Structure 1
């Protein structure tokens, strides 16, 4: 256990003083090797980096990242926003509801919260400001609703979890649908309550011609999630192949919208390559930490300590939720999962927590961290996109963290929220 504290403590300390996450992970692992007297095994370090980043299951990640960037580039985000605006924009606080619905739809084609913020952020914040919403509320709501992205399939975060937990991607994707809808519904309920205490603006109603045009224009974007999810669930494609299908489909839609150009393709490819490389570097570096923990049997010691200190499933889940929300404030979700899952999964198994449900709990708990100061990456990105100062955005986001936190509690207490749909479609998981 001492080795675990040395490695994770070194990593957290380096992160707090601003060291890049990949270097912090590597340095923490080297500190652990030195502490354990295993510097003779240092040659394993580069081998583990290569092995960690070259897993076939992770090949889906760059394709879904590319699909999200292509969707932004060809204007599918605008079509999704206009579709939601035409349907419910005319009710009181209509644009706030549109913000939630547009994020839910876009989540079904991008799979990443940052893609939602980058793609829909400027559109939603500008539209809300023009209709009389405060700049801070518009920006904070956009960050908060982006949390739906990594839960609703296809989800890059769930692909990483499936690889770490040796779970079915299709099962996890199905499991994310109901929790994703629950999170979206929690935001809608919050906005409805706020309407009772604040004077929320109302959008001018659309005529039938405008509604019909928005629906017809948005159909290609709305079909994308059905194609991607259907191909995986019904066995027509693996997650990686579904990512390729998403890219090809988006290009076809771009041709239909007459939005495809060489410069657009180059920009999307460049941004996707940079983000994919960053994620793979984090995964590769984290693999070395996982190898060191396994070599020194840290997960087994951690699990034994947990079982001695915590004697019930409920206490374990409370501890995990609090731990992950705190960790999520300081660390990005991918390295946090890679570092913590080898320690937490054996304990979850011992308490009989289904790994699919546990994946949803971990994913949502860490997601709340991207919208939480001081290291919430979503806050920094939205501050850059909207021009709202980080400090003001950090204050405005706090009440909007209540809905996803309530949803997280419900997902933790009621396993059926997560497991009902995958059990219905694919049958109960083997014990």
Structure 2
């Protein structure tokens, strides 16, 4: 009965548009008071502080800041110029440039919203000028930006690793192959649209231009090499790698001698707000997690599902459907923080690798970023393109289909995404 009251209170508060972090904390406090009495108030603030005071979480604001520095120092513009010289000669090449640059930007920022805001503000207006149409421009930018939470480093992967007590580095390595598969699939869909609607070719391939843009972008190419090389080489932890990303981005920005201070200030403020929201969610989830653990709710859910089936692939199917539905209504950070601690006992009993499951969760939430009503990344892209969200969603269906295929491959052929993890860590 207590659990029902808590759930009802949480739903009512969310429907009243109370921020989910605040609603989650209030619902947790309600549960503690009903089950343990007013004396439970004594440790609430301390529990929330301890929950958010984790070394791994420092990586989140650092990666967001690195992405902001990239966009304010001309790094993003040079990457666009290089990728355009490389594949711009293909029909619909500008859409493929968008996907290619998103793939690279994802290796620095770890945030899909930061990705779509940085790249979309430059490439969506250009695509519209060249006759691509607002819905398509927004759809391809939005879907490719979701690669940012699949390709390392990924902020949702950091949150999952903290919530599930698994390795951040192994999560990052597991995301490499699915991210590349997703990028290839998205480019295939973009090329299909380009042939069908006769999108323009940007320019003939010119080797001198490719060489020139490559040289100009060369310092930018050093960023992922330094960051990911340091993390995967065991030189730095993922958190230290985030700090290294900021330092490297600053050095490259100084090299280019091109800083838009106004844009940098706005991006840093926005990044600070995003970080504060995530940290508050983490702190609130500790309260809810503490109550649920003492009430044995995760164990009861695990026993209930295992009572239906002990086949781990059927369990993964059930959890895939569950997370796809959750993705319609919750942001990725909220979904991970709220749900993963409840599901961890189930995957442990079912013999599912926590790193493999973390990748599945991440892919589900990448799809959730593209599906209304929440769809934070899609909404950002629609805002930049000044396009109707439902028109964009129709065009976006084939791109979402690519992400679904990658999800199924990663779920039921784990050897593909886990190959690198098994090679380097096991």
Q: TM-score, normalised by structure 2?
A: 0.95
Structure 2: where are the runs of 5+ without partners? Answer: none
Alignment-derived partner of residue 280 in structure 2: 281
1:51 counterpart = 2:50 = yes
Alignment-derived partner of residue 130 in structure 2: 131
What are the Cα deviations for residues 100-144 of structure 1, in whole angstroms up to 9, with x where unaligned?
111111111111100111110121211211222111110111111
Moved more, 14-23 or 121-130: 14-23
Distance 1:262 1:127 in 2: 24
Does the C-alpha gap of structure 1 residues 275 and 73 become closer, same or farther in structure 2, counting only changes over 3 Å? same
What are the Cα deviations for residues 62-101 of structure 1, in whole angstroms up to 9, with x where unaligned?
1111111111111221122211111001111211221211
Say whether the 8 Å CA contact 1:90–1:205 is kept in structure 2.
Answer: yes
Alignment-derived partner of residue 107 in structure 1: 106
Say whether the 8 Å CA contact 1:90–1:204 is kept in structure 2.
Answer: yes
Distance 1:247 1:284 in 2: 25
Does the C-alpha gap of structure 1 residues 174 and 323 become closer, same or farther in structure 2, counting only changes over 3 Å? same
Say whether the 8 Å CA contact 1:356–1:418 is kept in structure 2.
Answer: no
Give the 5 Å matches for 1:142-161: 142-161=141-160
Say whether the 8 Å CA contact 1:88–1:97 is kept in structure 2.
Answer: yes
- Give the superposition deviation at 1:261: 6.3
Give the 5 Å matches for 1:5-404: 5-36=4-35, 38-195=37-194, 197-260=196-259, 263=262, 266-404=265-403
Moved more, 11-20 or 76-85: 11-20
Say whether the 8 Å CA contact 1:131–1:203 is kept in structure 2.
Answer: no
Distance 1:133 1:39 in 2: 60
What are the Cα deviations for residues 132-185 of structure 1, in whole angstroms up to 9, with x where unaligned?
211111011111111100111111111111111211221111111011111112
Say whether the 8 Å CA contact 1:129–1:135 is kept in structure 2.
Answer: yes
- Give the superposition deviation at 1:327: 0.6
Say whether the 8 Å CA contact 1:317–1:412 is kept in structure 2.
Answer: yes
Distance 1:396 1:27 in 2: 40
Distance 1:42 1:194 in 2: 58
Does the C-alpha gap of structure 1 residues 3 and 198 become closer, same or farther in structure 2, counting only changes over 3 Å? farther
- Give the superposition deviation at 1:321: 0.9
- Give the superposition deviation at 1:360: 0.5
Does the C-alpha gap of structure 1 residues 35 and 185 become closer, same or farther in structure 2, counting only changes over 3 Å? farther
Distance 2:12 2:405 in 1: 31
What are the Cα deviations for residues 218-245 of structure 1, in whole angstroms up to 9, with x where unaligned?
2222221111111112221111211111
Say whether the 8 Å CA contact 2:80–2:97 is kept in structure 1.
Answer: yes
SS class of match (1:236): coil
Distance 2:357 2:323 in 1: 12
Give the 5 Å matches for 1:389-428: 389-426=388-425, 428=426
Distance 2:284 2:244 in 1: 29
Say whether the 8 Å CA contact 1:251–1:260 is kept in structure 2.
Answer: no
Does the C-alpha gap of structure 1 residues 262 and 88 become closer, same or farther in structure 2, counting only changes over 3 Å? closer
Q: TM-score, normalised by structure 1?
A: 0.93
Does the C-alpha gap of structure 1 residues 84 and 162 become closer, same or farther in structure 2, counting only changes over 3 Å? same
What is the aligned residue count? 426
Say whether the 8 Å CA contact 2:154–2:172 is kept in structure 1.
Answer: yes
Does the C-alpha gap of structure 1 residues 95 and 126 become closer, same or farther in structure 2, counting only changes over 3 Å? same
What are the Cα deviations for residues 258-315 of structure 1, in whole angstroms up to 9, with x where unaligned?
1236555544443332221121111111111111111212111111111112332121
